[in-house]
Structure 1
């Protein structure tokens, strides 16, 4: 960097406010900060409302926040795939019905079919059921993508038809019955006291996460130096690393402060021959398995979207489909792959949803498509295409679930909940339009 460039940069920094200089140095996403601020406002608002009306706040408690994280997992997993679909200027209205169909297929596999061949309680039953569900979801998504790309049918029509077709197919496969109980190991994937990794496992995850955050910051700095990109100040990199580690440690402390219910503790103590002390036995839940599945999906999908050719192609197609095709990208085959990924994640989400319910029913996933689309849009994915992030979609899912949970806690009926969710979705699209126009109304 020349002296003239350094001088102009210094003059620019001097003329800006402290907050602007801080954001420029740390390179934090302002939309992400806005979403976090909105989420904090929702949480504090519902907690204070409960405290004023009922005499106690029930939202900002370890129990509610732990359950909130589990409830967000299923929608969050599908929202990661919806980002790819919307970024490429498509839409998928069928994910809720596909989730219900995959759940039914997994239920039939592990309750009606596999026990006859492998025996009841065989350790491979849950593994085969999950694989079957994800394969079915991938095939359905690929079929949708093929109809859209190679037969020229609009995604809205294909997936609207899929919404009806797969819900009806789920009813026919199960003959309208609820399939239960699912495999006991399979149920652990839905959370609950036994579907969590406990205090020790949570601390291991937290420490590994902190090490990964520090390593990513150092790796990013080394890459910038290698390719002669501008370096962030040392204090900015240190702040980002410290903030990430603090968030992870705070999450570990939160999930470890939520104990098992007393009845389950009693059953566990009797089964293990443990004597319960006079003050009771405190056993932490720790991170729920569905949350760890969601985190794994977020990491993998973020890597794919930011570090692979596939991810670059997705954004290129969303930015300008014609230019992407002229540059040599096989946009039709990419569309098939994008919808196949959406189907794969829907099958995984069906695993979490049916495991949490402990059964499979054809009504599972009803209206989930609306919440998934809303999560992606609220998270900053532009309906005009070409813009969207995985972490933003997950934050959007958390915002949506926080609104629902908060309204349930303070006693709002279903009609008001639907009005609020619909209003928030419209507001999110309006704000997205303002953002893309540079803040001009």
Structure 2
């Protein structure tokens, strides 16, 4: 009886009711909110490309856009879990500033005296130290929220002020620079990129991973008797993913090193410079690769681990989760510890990109991180959100900022636009969930 029922369901899924766009969406099971976000992103890109006179959609600007998005995207993955539990973290920008200053002081002022200059362990110790500081800060705030019962809004608002002041106190307001050469690779640049060959290798691996994931997902559905997508729908999803991956690799490889840097590289490595000049593509930047890895890991944590299921259970119904035996306070504390670690990783990317730590580092980043998560579909009511959505939301926010900079829009007006976009995103989320209910 169950086999017959599952066969009927699979057959129904294989022939979607109705053609056109609705039939395509039903067959491919595409998230309409995600599809709308991608569409909005493409519209934003096209508008800025036209208004900027054809500058926005160039390999150089798109490469810089991905690098600038990396730190916000990394933190947005953690903010998803925070908001899913019906909380908020207003201190992430200040934590980024504090941990960034701590890491800069550690590698520029403390470790050279202990290990010597150019020690290969400096960047590792610095990164681990910064992440531990972030985890400690997140743990402290999480303990006050979960075990002492102080609202997250108040605790993290206090943290915003405390850690911003702490960043100034660490170095008495001085900018700390330069940073360790290996540590700086996390910020991108000519040396902080994979290069053309390894970018194509990474693209090939990503395409294979997409194909395997589609096959494995289909086999899992079949083994559990769940409805199957039509073969053409699976092929379409795979083809779109392949085109996106190969296209992205081609774009970042099309952005070439400046001629002066290429000449110095050729001279240092004994490479003969051709008549037309040496053309070396940047490829995928290291910070972008870090953000991708974090996104994959956080998606696995949110969807495939007990901790992730507990987080969404708490966000859906805290009382029911506690009655089910979930240690809600400890889970909540771990969420804020994870958020602190990701803020520290974002600080490593930001300081490495600037080759310095300043007191303004991370200012207003909490606004962009929260906006990225909300625009990406994370509900402020809790219980719903996706990691990939938050990362796309970060790209939307950074695209708006980058486009306005290219157009010469004043900084105060940029903040006005970001605030309006955030309010509209929350309104859309509220309307969508009201209709879905």
Does residue 102 of structure 2 align to residue 105 of structure 1?
yes
* Aligned equivalents of 1:395, 1:146: Cα separation in 2: 31
Change in 2 beyond 3 A, CA 1:385/1:341: same
The corresponding residue for 1:224 is 221
Change in 2 beyond 3 A, CA 1:272/1:6: closer
Provide the secondary structure at the position in 1 that maps to 2:241: helix
Change in 2 beyond 3 A, CA 1:401/1:5: same
* Aligned equivalents of 1:210, 1:162: Cα separation in 2: 42
1:167-193, Cα deviation, whole Å (9 max, x unpaired):
111111111111111101111110011
The corresponding residue for 2:145 is 148
* Aligned equivalents of 1:185, 1:248: Cα separation in 2: 28
1:221-249, Cα deviation, whole Å (9 max, x unpaired):
11111111111111111211221111111
Provide the secondary structure at the position in 2 that maps to 1:239: helix
The corresponding residue for 1:256 is 253
Structure 2 counterpart of 1:47, from 49, 62, 69: 49
Does residue 420 of structure 2 align to residue 423 of structure 1?
yes
* 1:85-164 to 2 correspondences below 5 Å: 85-164=82-161
Structure 1 counterpart of 2:22, from 20, 43, 49: 20
Change in 2 beyond 3 A, CA 1:138/1:3: closer
* Aligned equivalents of 1:137, 1:36: Cα separation in 2: 32
1:14-49, Cα deviation, whole Å (9 max, x unpaired):
4x3421121111111111100000000000001111
The corresponding residue for 1:354 is 351
Task: Report the alpha carbon displacement of residue 5 of structure 1 after superposing the two structures with TM.
Answer: 5.0
Q: How many residues align?
A: 434
Provide the secondary structure at the position in 1 that maps to 2:435: coil
Task: Report the alpha carbon displacement of residue 363 of structure 1 after superposing the two structures with TM.
Answer: 1.8
* Aligned equivalents of 2:126, 2:436: Cα separation in 1: 49
TM-score with structure 1 setting the length: 0.96
* Aligned equivalents of 1:148, 1:11: Cα separation in 2: 48
1:328-362, Cα deviation, whole Å (9 max, x unpaired):
11100001000000001011111000000101122
Provide the secondary structure at the position in 2 that maps to 1:437: helix
Task: Report the alpha carbon displacement of residue 273 of structure 1 after superposing the two structures with TM.
Answer: 2.2
Task: Report the alpha carbon displacement of residue 12 of structure 1 after superposing the two structures with TM.
Answer: 9.0
Change in 2 beyond 3 A, CA 1:354/1:316: same
Q: Is the 8 A contact 1:174 1:362 kept in 2?
A: no
Q: Is the 8 A contact 2:27 2:230 kept in 1?
A: yes
TM-score with structure 2 setting the length: 0.97
Q: Unmatched 5+ residue regions in structure 2?
A: none
The corresponding residue for 2:281 is 284
The corresponding residue for 2:178 is 181
After TM superposition, what 4+ stretches of structure 1 lie above 6 angstroms from structure 2? none
The corresponding residue for 2:318 is 321
Does residue 411 of structure 2 align to residue 414 of structure 1?
yes
Provide the secondary structure at the position in 2 that maps to 1:91: coil
* Aligned equivalents of 2:318, 2:10: Cα separation in 1: 41
Q: Is the 8 A contact 2:90 2:366 kept in 1?
A: yes
Q: Unmatched 5+ residue regions in structure 1?
A: 52-56
Task: Report the alpha carbon displacement of residue 137 of structure 1 after superposing the two structures with TM.
Answer: 0.3
Q: CA RMSD in A?
A: 1.7
* Aligned equivalents of 2:35, 2:117: Cα separation in 1: 50
Change in 2 beyond 3 A, CA 1:404/1:101: same
* Aligned equivalents of 1:130, 1:429: Cα separation in 2: 35
